[in-house]
Every structure is written in structure tokens, then in C-alpha cells.
Amino acid sequence: MYSFEQLKVFITVCESGSFSAAARKLKRAQSGVSQAIANLEISINQELFNRDKNTPVLTTNGKALLPIAKSILHQQKYFDQKLESLTKQYENELVIAIDESCIDSDFLQILTPLADKFPITHFEIISASTFDVEELVRSGKAQVGIIYADGELKVDMDFFLLGQARFITIASPDHELAQLSTVQDADLKRYRQCVHRSAQQKELWFSYAISSKIWYANNHQTIVNLVQQGMGWASVPELLIKHSIQQGSLIALPVAHEHSGWLTPVGCLISRSHQSGPVLTSLIERLQENSFSHDHWTKREKTFTK
Amino acid sequence: MYSFEQLKVFITVCESGSFSAAARKLKRAQSGVSQAIANLEISINQELFNRDKNTPVLTTNGKALLPIAKSILHQQKYFDQKLESLTKQYENELVIAIDESCIDSDFLQILTPLADKFPITHFEIISASTFDVEELVRSGKAQVGIIYADGELKVDMDFFLLGQARFITIASPDHELAQLSTVQDADLKRYRQCVHRSAQQKELWFSYAISSKIWYANNHQTIVNLVQQGMGWASVPELLIKHSIQQGSLIALPVAHEHSGWLTPVGCLISRSHQSGPVLTSLIERLQENSFSHDHWTKREKTFTK
DNA sequence: CTTAGGCTATCACTATTTGTGATGGTTGTT
DNA sequence: AACAACCATCACAAATAGTGATAGCCTAAG
């Protein structure tokens, strides 16, 4: 009966080109490699290599068997990975909830290296409003949440700051508000406002309704689209609209007393319902190496955080 | 490092329910099974069974590992099958060519058990006209061919009889020939004939053109469809039309001197370009256990053929 | 042609692993 | 209590695998 080790030696010889090179690669004696191949050949009653010359040449039958040998070793690697996850008690699944207006490709690039590091763990990314994210983490349905922070102390969850997001008051270029050199609160109140409101009908504390005419939507992208179609004005995250402003399909209104929009903190909530495992630990480290800076995610400066 | 044998013992214990039952099944000492499991547990640093009671209970971690262990053993079985085919020199591929009007689901049922018996061998079934089938076998592109036999001795291929196929002269019920109580050759010649002719422009020796008005097609199913649309008459295999006759969409013409149609032999050609291997031998045995009886394939009567 | 480097095979030896049969303790049923 | 079935451990023998030393062969360079 042949062994996993013999198959591994067989594959390594094919990849290395010679018995001695394989031995060096495997950190074994060359004679052991020679014996392992000879024993495998005896075991399966097939000549795998032609040894007429100085270097072994894979036989036709050896070529036919090589892919299956690789397949077996691949399955064995999966078994070993499963073992490792059982031993180290890696999380089988990790749920990250994030405010829908904070997620972009930069943020996903923070997460993706974790897939290579923890190939067995399933990740779920839930995009929701800040209030819903908070509830998901509080209930333990998500281990990690990323939200706009309201400065209120969380007593049942851990929290750390990730940065600041800028909110900007916008309108379509054709809107009447766009023709004003300065926009007062009274001006804003005269036109329809497009307001973000969660499923729980909660409005963010810095973009709540002040007009009498309001259209609600439960995600910021819809708000942006309504404004682009001339439905009214809104205060929205700069992350979502910076390209539209450059292209001229939206304009930032010059609102009195708001020289550069409104900054609001972005933070990370961590559930206390979950035992901390290696995957969650790694995720938190990854997040702490990055920050939200007004309109984009960026690598955090190397400061002394100890 | 764990071995294939240890994984096999693990799976057998799970399937048998106890170490001693697995030992009986594997024809081994119970103490060997006990040791194999214990050694596997040491090797992977995981408890696979809870042994608090008299019979072992698979642990949660054991449950997680079992399907992967099975997957590894499945791949190993495939490796062993490949080995067997290399050792016994099973044919990698077998090509069967058959006249297109002789193939139906009964015929395919003759072939399908071979898939279980030779899981590694690839089968190709080529449906063509009798002349093309003969050429495929002669050239060695197909190992086996099934044709209408013309009685001519084949000097470069082996041959054996499979049965008799009945050809029937048909027309659409609305055709003028369908109104005659007896159809003479002179009647047939007055109407368009639909004739089978191969890619090499060869006509079968019992259904060649006798009318002056002819439509050719290179397969019998097309011929049948033309006749059903009232294009004329044709002589076709009963296998293809027996349901249409029962349904009344075609009628068998009462041709003088042909009380029950025309019987023509069906035979099997075997290429001499191929070494006979276990798969080809099995296929020939399967074919010889069956015969073509006028309008269907059937199991051959058990006679003394020795 | 000679030399040097790289190759594989074989040997002697040690260490490790695996299998059997005997034995003993526990559990579950009658 | 008796019996059957279960798993664990032991002693022992057999099988397997690894190292380091040695020898022979091949190939390229000088």
C-alpha cells in the first residue's frame, strides 16, 4: 500500500526534475527519495520513471497517474486545513455589518487578504443603515459593525474610532438652490428635502428633516439618485458623490456656517456575544491599520498606539 | 502522518457502528482497529470517538472530518482504477458506429452496463449510414460497426449476424397510392419516391430508386418525415415507423409480392486494426447476447452456440 | 583524454510503525 | 448472576521508512 508521503515525493520529483533536487527541496536524504520512488513503483507495479540517462524521465503511465496523485494530495491538504481550523478553533463564519454608505472597493481590499489567511472561514458582509448595523452587533448576529458614531457611550459593545466622514449638502445643477451664492437655512426649508431614514424610521442626527416637503429613502445611494433627478436637496456622504461633483452632475451647496460640510465620526463596534478567535482578532488588526478620512479609506499612519 | 489505511478504518468504524464490527468487516484483529483509530487520533491531535459507553460515539470534530476522509478515499479509488486500466491495458476509448435507423433506447440499454464495468473507458457512439459505418470500421476509426448486411463477404473485417430488419413501403394516408387495394410496381413508378442515399451517394440494394421523380435524403428519419408530408412514398425500416402506423399518420402500402415487407440482415463488423482488449471483448459479448428482430432489439434466446 | 560535478542505486543500520493474539475491564441484556 | 459484546492494553514479531556512506554512470569543460 502506497502512502501520502510517497505520492508527495513522486510529485516533487516531477516538479523538481531530479531525485536529488527533490531531496534538497524536501530536506531529505537523496537515497530516501530514491527508495520512496522505488517502493511506490513496487507497490503499484508500474514504472514511473525511465532512468536510462542521468536524469529521470517520466513514463507515459507516470504522466497518466500524476494528475490523480496531485488530486489526492489536494484533498489531503483540505483535510489538514480543516484539522487546523478545528485545532485552533477558527471561526467557521464571521459576519461584518457596515453602513451602506461607508463601503467601497477600498474597504473591501482591507478584507480580502483574510480570505487567503483563513481559507476555511466563511465571511458575510451585511450592508445596512447605521442603526441596523448597531442592532445586528448588539444582538450578536454580526461580530463587527462599522457605523457613524453619535458619541453615545456603548455599554454592551466594544468600540473604537476609525475616522471621520464628511457629509455635504447637494443639489442638481438645475435646481433653484444651485443658483444662490449663499444658501441659508430658510432657503433650504423652502424646497423638498431627501432624507435618509432607516427601516426603524430613525434619522441620522446630522441629516434629519428640516423641510416641510420630504422624500425618505433607506439608503444614501437612492438619496443621491433622487437629488440628481432634481427632486430636491440632501446631506449625503462625500464618499458617494465626489465623482458626480467632479463631473458636474451634482453641486455642493454653499450653505452658511458649513464651510467644508459636516464631519461625523466613523467607528467600529465589536460584539460581546462572541468569543474572540484568531479570525476576529485578525480582522480587528486589519481595521486598526486603516482609517476613514473624510471621503475615502486609507492606511493609518504608523503612530505609537501602545 | 496518517495513512490511507487509517482513514479507511475510520470510515469503516463510522459505517459499522463499532470497532469490532469494523474489524470483522475488514477481516482484521479488533485490537488492530482500536490501535489504528488511537494512532490516527494521536497523529491529528483530535479525539474522533467518545468511548464513555460500550460503543464508540463519533465526536463533533469527527463528524466534520468524516466527509473529507471519504473524499480522499474516493480519489484514491480513482487512482487505483487508473492503475488497473494501465495494468490490464483497458482500452481508453471505444468507438461504436451504427446505422442511424438501427439505434433506439433498447440498443442503448445494451451498452450502458459497460459504463459501470469500465468507468475509465470513454465510449463514442457514431450514428451514420450503413456505408459510412462500414468505412469507419474498415479505416479503424471505429472498432465496432452495426449495419444492414448485403451478403458480401468482408475480407478485411470480422463479421457476425445480429438479426433481421424489416423494411416497409409507406405513404401518407392522403396519398393516391393509399387508395389502392393492391399496389403494383407500375403504380409506384408513377409517383415521387423518397430514397435514402449516403454521403458517398450510395443507395441501399433493397430500397434504391425505381421512380423517375426522386427526392434523396441521407438519413431514414428525414425520409419518413417527407413521406408524412405527402411528398411521395418510400421503403423504410419498421423500427422507425411502427408508432406512426399505429397512430395512422402513415400507412403500409399493400405492395404485390411483398406480403410482410422486405427482410434484410443486420450484422456486426469488427475492426482488425485494433488489439482486442477487455472492453471490446465485453462489448462483443453483450451484442451477441442480443439480436435485432424485425422492428426491435431483444435478448437472444439461450441456445448452444459453442 | 582527464577531471569535476551531478546524477541514481544499493547497502548497513537504526528507528518507527503496524499487525496479531492474549488478556482484562466495562456495558448491556436476559 | 450469567452471558455476550464492547474497547484498551500488552508482548512480540514483522514491515516500513529514514540516514549516511559508498559506488557506478553521465555530461560538460578544459
Q: Which cell numbers in the block locate residue A112? A: 480580502
| Strand, coil or helix: A14 | helix
* Per-residue model confidence as pLDDT tens digits over B245-271: 998 889 999 888 776 778 889 999 998
Q: Does B182 touch chain A (CB under 8 A)?
A: no
Domains A4-88 and A164-263 belong to one CATH topology? no
Those residues whose C-beta lies under 8 Å from the C-beta of residue B45, and which sit 6 or more positions away, are A83, A87
Residue A5, pLDDT > 90, answer yes
* Average pLDDT value for residue range A270-281: 79
CATH number of B4-88: 1.10.10.10
Q: What letter would DSSP give residue B272?
A: S
Q: If contacts are CB pairs under 8 Å, which of residues 99-118 in chain A contact chain B?
A: none
* Chain B residues in contact with A1 (beta carbon < 8 A): 3-5
Show me where the domains of chain B are located: 4-88, 93-163+265-299, 164-263
Contact between the CB of B16 and strand D at under 7 Å: no
With a threshold of 0.95, tell me whether the complex ipTM lies above it: no
* Per-residue model confidence as pLDDT tens digits over A176-193: 898 888 888 888 888 888
User: Phi/psi of residue A30, each to 5°?
Assistant: -60, -40
Query: Cβ of A21: how many Cβ atoms within 10 Å?
Result: 16
pLDDT band of residue B199 (cuts 50, 70, 90) is low
**For residue A178, what is the enclosing H or E element?**
none
Top-level CATH class of B93-163+265-299?
Answer: alpha beta
Contact between the CB of A21 and strand C at under 7 Å: yes
Contact B209, B193 (CB under 8 A): yes
Q: If contacts are CB pairs under 8 Å, which of residues 39-78 in chain A contact chain B?
A: 44-46, 61, 64-65, 68-69, 71-72, 75-76, 78
Residue B33, pLDDT > 90, answer yes
Give the model's pLDDT for residue B213. 78
Domain B164-263, what fold? D-Maltodextrin-Binding Protein; domain 2 (3.40.190)
What does each C-alpha distance from A267 to A146, A150, A246, A264 come to in angstroms? 6, 9, 28, 10
**For residue B163, what is the enclosing H or E element?**
strand B157-171
Give the model's pLDDT for residue B275. 67
Give A92→chain B minimum CA distance, Å.
12
Does domain A93-162+266-291 match CATH 3.40.50.2300? no
pLDDT band of residue A145 (cuts 50, 70, 90) is very high
Distance in Å from D12's C1' to A59's CA comes to 42
Residue A199, pLDDT > 70, answer no
The overall average pLDDT reported for chain B is 85
Residue B50, pLDDT > 70, answer yes
**For residue B94, what is the enclosing H or E element?**
strand B93-99
Residue B49, pLDDT > 70, answer yes
pLDDT band of residue B15 (cuts 50, 70, 90) is very high
